[in-house]
Amino acid sequence: MSKDGMDKLSQLGQPTELPKSPEVAVIESVPNGHPETDYVVRFTSPEFTSICPITGQPDFAHLVIDYVPDASLVESKSLKLFLGSFRNHGAFHEDCTVTIAKRLEAAIAPRWLRIGGYWFPRGGMPIDIFYQSGPPPENLWLPDQGVAPYRGRG
């Protein structure tokens, strides 16, 4: 592998089809240039979609993923493709949110990770799902996720 780790990437820099399901999606990583430093990486997906496994109706969420990397960083195109693979995937909100967290943990082994899944209501009630791998590192600047409590998601 090259020093920068870019030669192992299979999706970045070339046309890549959306994976058919989250199970077959590949989350790739690159080396962290500052593994000795605690800092937060944030990914926001304000238009995440999946399918209700019972009704087949679309579900929409605003996802906020924060993590403190260790040796590896998530390669962003692979994350976008992974998240997009949920578009035709039937699963409840809880399963989608926790599955994303666990797949990220398996792919990059971060020092710390949290995900906020702010789901838009169907049937009149939003269902928000929160996952955190443990307490954040000490002295870490951790901004609020910035998603308003439901009131039309402001």
Q: Which residues carry out catalysis?
A: 52, 59
Contacts with 24 (C-beta within 8 Å, 6 or more apart), sequence order: 85
Contacts with 88 (C-beta within 8 Å, 6 or more apart), sequence order: 20, 21, 51
Contacts with 151 (C-beta within 8 Å, 6 or more apart), sequence order: none
Two structure tokens written together for 22: 């989250």
